[in-house]
Amino acid sequence: MVLTLGQRPAWRQCAFVAIAAGLSVMAVRVGVYAGRWPTNPSAGVGLYSVFALASVVGAVAYGIVVTLFGYARLTPVSLAVIALACAAATACAVFILGHAHFLGPWCLAVLWWYAFSGGLWYFDRAG
């Protein structure tokens, strides 16, 4: 990942990667914590809401870090749109995993990353 960040000082690239890794862990922790809510997250809307919440938290936090490190300029509106796209992609991945068990949990990360990267690319080009 450091190699794709462009011509930035090495300490700044490493700091970005470390913070991004911490945000990934935080998004997982949000999902685990949200899974303890009184609703039954193992079925129906509860499952989708837990994953969507973790997805939105991860997208907003990651978007803020990307903006603070100067890799892209995201407005609050563009960040909200990207976060909603990530939630929708995660919901699609949960639905797909419910019907195609052979894909594995990597499907969640791949669809989320495509939604986030696509939104980042779109808003970077639009701005």
Q: pTM for the full model?
A: 0.76
Asked if the structure places residue 17 within a domain, the reply is yes
Count structural domains, the chain: 1
pLDDT single digits (tens) 79-90: 999 999 999 998
Residue 1 domain flag: no
Query: Cβ contacts of residue 60 below 8 Å, gap of 6+?
Result: 79, 83
**Which of the pair, 88 or 4, is modelled with greater confidence?**
88
User: Which domain, by its residues, includes 85?
Assistant: 7-126
Instruction: Note whether residue 2 is domain-resident.
Output: no
Contacts of 66 (CB under 8 A, 6+ apart): 72, 74, 120
Provide the H-helix boundaries in the chain: 10-34, 44-68, 76-99, 106-126
Statement: residue 1 has pLDDT above 50: no
The mean of the pLDDT values for the chain is 79
101-117: per-residue pLDDT in tens? 777 777 778 888 899 98
